[in-house]
């Protein structure tokens, strides 16, 4: 069975963006060890799942910045955008999914292929977490406290026990916490 991995940047206090969507607190100047860790996470994946809001910036960003490290992997991976509003896409290797999130993710996980990776978008990630669909969590904790912002655990209304697989601090200031179900 395929695993669904979540890779997401968080502030120390658990936000993925500021109250108005600010992301200026995130560290993007990653050191080589962190870049290599990301390669390890994504090496076993062939599909990316996204919510519409993130996809509208994420997919064009990677398409227009092909020289960035990891761009080839992202651009060549299958992408599934969960949306209620988009009717068509011009994005390469991208399918729009309007069906039930749980049903579609479970079907995807039981299909043939490599692992699947989910990237943010607060509402989308919150839904994946709330529905207990994520198998591996990769929290990239940035050394910032926002006080207010967009949380990803706000809609979770049950206790979840995860197993800490590793905690690693990187020179750039990010600490990655890896949890598995």
pLDDT for 84-135, tens place per residue? Answer: 898 888 888 899 999 899 999 999 999 999 999 999 788 899 999 999 999 9
Express each pLDDT in 20-64 by its tens digit. 989 999 998 999 999 999 999 999 999 999 998 888 888 888 778
Tell me the C-alpha distance between 66 and 84, whole Å. 29
Model pLDDT, residue 63: 79
CATH assignment of 4-180, given 3.90.1720.10, 3.40.430.10, 2.70.150.10, 3.50.40.10? Answer: 3.40.430.10
User: How much is the pLDDT for 54?
Assistant: 83
Q: Where are the domains of the chain?
A: 4-180
Strands 15-17 and 136-141: unpaired
What is the overall mean pLDDT for the chain? Answer: 92
């Amino acid at each position: 069975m395929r695993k669904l991995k979540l890779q997401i940047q968080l502030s120390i206090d658990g936000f993925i963006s500021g109250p108005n969507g600010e992301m200026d607190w995130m560290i993007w100047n990653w050191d080589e060890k962190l870049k290599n860790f990301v390669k390890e996470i994504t090496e076993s994946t062939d599909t990316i799942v996204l919510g519409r809001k993130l996809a509208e910036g994420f997919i064009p960003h990677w398409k227009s910045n092909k020289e960035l490290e990891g761009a080839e992997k992202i651009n060549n991976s299958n992408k599934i955008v969960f949306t209620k509003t988009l009717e068509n896409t011009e994005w390469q290797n991208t399918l729009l999914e309007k069906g039930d999130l749980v049903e579609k993710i479970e079907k995807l996980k039981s299909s043939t292929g490599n692992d699947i990776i989910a990237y943010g978008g607060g509402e989308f990630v919150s839904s994946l977490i709330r529905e207990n669909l994520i198998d591996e969590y990769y929290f990239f904790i940035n050394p910032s406290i926002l006080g207010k912002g967009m949380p990803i655990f706000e809609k979770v209304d049950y206790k979840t026990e995860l197993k800490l697989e590793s905690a690693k601090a990187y020179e750039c200031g990010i600490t990655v916490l890896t949890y598995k179900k």
